[in-house]
C-alpha cells in the first residue's frame, strides 16, 4: 500500500513535504517490531502517529494501550505499568495487571517517557531488552510481548547529561527516532486540518460555518501555533460554536489566537511568506509549496517587532533619557501597538504604574544591558540573527541583571515564570544562569 492510500485509509492529513517524510518513515517501521521514539512539541499529534504505526503493523488486531507517563504520580507509576499483587502496599486490596500485561501481543505507547523516575527506568530497560518484568510485591517473573512506542517533547540526551535519564535506556529507546514537525513547519497542512475540524464540529453542533475572509485565512496560516494541532482544533471548535453562522474576519479570528501573545513574548510572531505565493479558496484548496524559511527570518519583514524587543528592556533604555535620575525602572511590557523604537520608549511613562518596578543604579546597569546602539547593531546588516538567538540574548541579559532571579527576570521580560523556565531549558541557559547567580 502506497503513501497516498495509507493516508486516505487512516484519515491522515499530510500534504506538506515534511509530513510526507514522516509518513514514509512510519511505513518503513510499522511492519516490524522495532522500538520507535517519537519526538516533537506538545500538541503535534504524536499519539496519532503512534496509532498509525500500530494500525499498519501486524499487531493491528490486538490492543493499543496508551499511557501518559507524565500524568501518573511517581508513587504509583511502577504499579500502573507492571501491575501489583494483593497486599503489596496500602490500598492494594486485590491483584491487578499493569499496562504491559494488557498490551501483550499488541502495542504499548508510552507518552512523556522522559518523565519516568529513575527506579522505573531500570525496569523499563529490562522489559525492552527481553520482555521480562515483575509485578510490585511479586517474585514471579512475567513476560510481555508488547511492541513499544515511546514519545517525548524533551531533549532526552540533555536529560542524560544532566543525570535525570539513564544513558543505557536512552540508547535502547533511540533505535528509530521519528521527529514530528510543529505546525509552523508544515504550513501546507494548516488549512486542510482546520477544514477537517470545522466540518467535524459543524456536524457535531449542527452549525453552518460560513467561511473566512482572505485576511483571516492569511492570519490562520501565518500564526505560529505554539499549541500546534491541539490549539488549532480548539480554535476551530470555538469558531463553530461561538461564531455560529458568522463570516470570519481577521478581527474575529484574532480574538481566538491567544497562544503566547502577552507582551514580551516573541512566540506569536507570524511566519515569513513569499508574498507571490497564491492560495486556493479556503474550503477547496491549500497553500502551495510554502518555504521552510517561513519562520527563522520573520524578523526581517517585521521591523515593528524590534520595538517589541526593545520594550522588554525599555526600563533600562528609559533610564538614559532621565539624565538627573539615579535609578532605572525595569518594567514588564506595555502596549501591544508598535510604531517603532521611539514609541516603545515614549510609552514607558504610561507604563510606570502597570506592574512591579525594580530599581538599580544607572552605573550598574549601563555595563550589563543591551542599549539602543547594541540592539540596532544586532538587527542590522546582512547577518540577521534568528528569532531564537535574539530571544536567548534577551533572556541571558535579564538573568544576568537580576543575578539569576527567575521571577524578576520573567516579570521584566513580560513572560510567565513557567515560560521562562521552559526557555532556559530549551536554550540550555542553566549553566550561564548559575554562573551569574
Domain identity same for 62 and 203: no
Q: Which of 136-145, 154-163, 192-201, 307-316 has the lowest mean pLDDT?
A: 307-316
- Each residue's pLDDT tens digit, 184-228: 999 999 999 999 999 999 999 988 888 889 999 999 999 999 999
CATH of the domain at 190: 1.10.8.60
Q: Is 344 in contact with 338 (CB distance < 8 Å)?
A: yes
Domain identity same for 42 and 170: yes
Domain identity same for 189 and 169: no
Domain identity same for 329 and 415: yes
Asked if residue 72 has pLDDT above 70, the reply is yes
Output 228 or 346, whichever has higher pLDDT: 228
- Each residue's pLDDT tens digit, 367-383: 444 555 555 555 555 56
Q: Which of 145, 162, 181 is the last residue of a domain?
A: 181
Q: What would the DSSP string read from start to end of 47-88?
A: HHHHHHHHHTSTTTTS-EEEEEGGGS-TTTHHHHHH-B-TTS
Exposed e or buried b for every residue in 167-203, given b needs 16+ CB within 10 A? eebbebbeeeebebbbbbbbbbbbbbbbbebbeebbe
Domain identity same for 325 and 414: yes
Domain identity same for 352 and 271: no
Q: Which of 158, 181, 204 is the last residue of a domain?
A: 181
Determine the 3-state secondary structure of 134 from DSSP: strand
Domain identity same for 228 and 356: no
Domain identity same for 10 and 144: yes
Structure confidence at residue 82 as a pLDDT band (50, 70, 90): very high
Q: How many domains does the chain have?
A: 3
Output 140 or 92, whichever has higher pLDDT: 140
pLDDT for res 259:
53
Q: Grid coordinates representing 13?
A: 492529513
Domain identity same for 133 and 149: yes
**Mean predicted lDDT score pLDDT of the chain:** 76
Asked if residue 291 has pLDDT above 90, the reply is no
CATH of the domain at 42: 3.40.50.300
Q: Which of 295, 329, 361 is the last residue of a domain?
A: 295
Closest CA to 199 of 209, 211, 190, 185: 209
Domain identity same for 115 and 176: yes
**pTM higher than the cut 0.85:** no
Domain identity same for 311 and 327: yes
Supply φ then ψ for residue 108, to 5 degrees.
-115, 130
The range of the structural domain enclosing residue 217 comes to 185-295
Domain identity same for 16 and 165: yes
**First and final C-alpha spacing in the chain:** 58
Output the 3-class SS for 177-242.
EEECCCHHHCHHHHHHHHHHHHHHHHHHCCCCCCCECHHHHHHHHHCCCCCHHHHHHHHHHHHHHH
Burial (0-12, 13-18, 19+ Cβ within 10 Å), 347 = buried
Q: Which of 23-37, 133-147, 163-177, 338-352 has the lowest mean pLDDT?
A: 338-352
Amino acid at each position: 500500500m502506497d503513501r497516498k492510500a495509507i493516508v486516505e485509509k487512516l484519515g491522515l492529513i499530510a500534504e506538506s513535504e515534511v509530513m510526507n517524510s514522516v509518513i514514509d518513515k512510519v511505513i518503513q517501521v510499522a511492519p516490524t517490531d522495532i522500538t520507535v521514539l517519537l519526538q516533537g512539541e506538545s500538541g503535534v499529534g504524536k499519539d496519532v502517529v503512534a496509532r498509525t504505526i500500530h494500525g499498519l503493523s501486524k499487531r493491528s488486531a490486538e490492543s493499543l494501550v496508551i499511557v501518559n507517563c507524565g500524568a501518573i504520580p511517581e508513587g504509583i507509576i511502577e504499579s500502573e505499568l507492571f501491575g501489583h499483587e494483593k497486599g503489596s502496599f496500602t490500598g492494594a486490596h486485590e491483584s491487578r495487571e499493569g499496562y504491559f500485561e494488557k498490551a501483550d501481543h499488541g502495542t504499548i505507547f508510552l507518552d512523556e517517557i522522559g518523565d519516568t523516575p529513575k527506579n522505573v527506568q531500570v525496569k523499563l530497560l529490562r522489559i525492552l531488552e527481553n520482555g521480562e518484568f515483575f509485578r510490585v510485591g511479586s517474585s514471579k517473573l512475567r513476560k510481555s510481548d508488547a511492541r513499544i512506542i515511546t514519545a517525548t517533547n524533551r531533549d532526552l540526551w540533555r536529560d542524560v547529561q544532566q543525570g535525570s535519564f539513564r544513558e543505557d535506556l536512552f540508547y535502547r529507546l533511540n533505535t528509530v527516532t521519528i521527529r514530528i514537525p510543529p505546525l509552523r513547519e508544515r504550513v501546507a497542512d494548516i488549512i486542510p486540518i482546520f477544514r477537517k475540524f470545522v466540518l467535524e464540529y459543524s456536524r457535531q453542533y449542527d452549525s453552518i460555518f460560513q467561511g473566512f475572509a482572505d485576511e483571516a485565512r492569511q492570519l490562520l496560516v501565518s500564526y505560529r501555533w505554539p499549541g500546534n494541532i491541539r490549539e488549532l482544533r480548539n480554535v476551530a471548535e470555538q469558531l463553530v460554536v461561538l461564531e455560529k453562522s458568522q463570516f470570519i474576519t481577521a478581527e474575529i479570528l484574532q480574538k481566538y489566537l491567544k497562544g503566547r501573545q502577552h507582551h514580551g513574548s516573541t512566540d506569536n510572531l507570524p511566519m515569513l511568506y513569499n508574498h507571490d505565493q497564491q492560495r486556493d479558496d479556503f474550503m477547496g484548496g491549500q497553500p502551495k509549496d510554502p518555504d521552510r524559511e517561513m519562520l527563522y527570518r520573520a524578523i526581517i519583514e517585521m521591523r515593528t517587532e524590534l520595538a517589541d524587543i526593545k520594550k522588554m528592556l525599555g526600563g533600562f533604555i528609559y533610564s538614559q533619557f532621565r539624565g538627573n535620575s539615579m535609578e532605572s525602572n525595569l518594567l514588564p511590557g506595555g502596549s501591544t501597538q508598535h510604531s517603532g523604537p521611539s514609541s516603545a520608549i515614549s510609552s514607558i511613562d504610561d507604563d510606570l504604574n502597570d506592574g512591579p518596578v525594580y530599581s538599580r543604579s544607572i552605573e550598574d546597569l549601563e555595563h550589563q544591558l543591551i542599549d539602543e546602539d547594541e540592539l540596532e547593531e544586532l538587527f542590522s546588516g546582512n547577518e540577521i540573527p534568528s528569532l531564537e538567538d535574539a530571544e536567548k540574548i534577551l533572556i541571558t541579559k535579564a538573568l544576568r541583571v537580576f543575578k539569576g532571579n527567575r521571577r524578576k527576570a520573567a516579570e521584566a521580560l513580560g513572560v510567565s515564570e513557567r515560560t521562562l523556565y521552559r526557555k532556559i531549558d530549551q536554550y540550555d541557559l542553566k549553566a550561564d544562569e548559575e554562573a551569574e547567580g
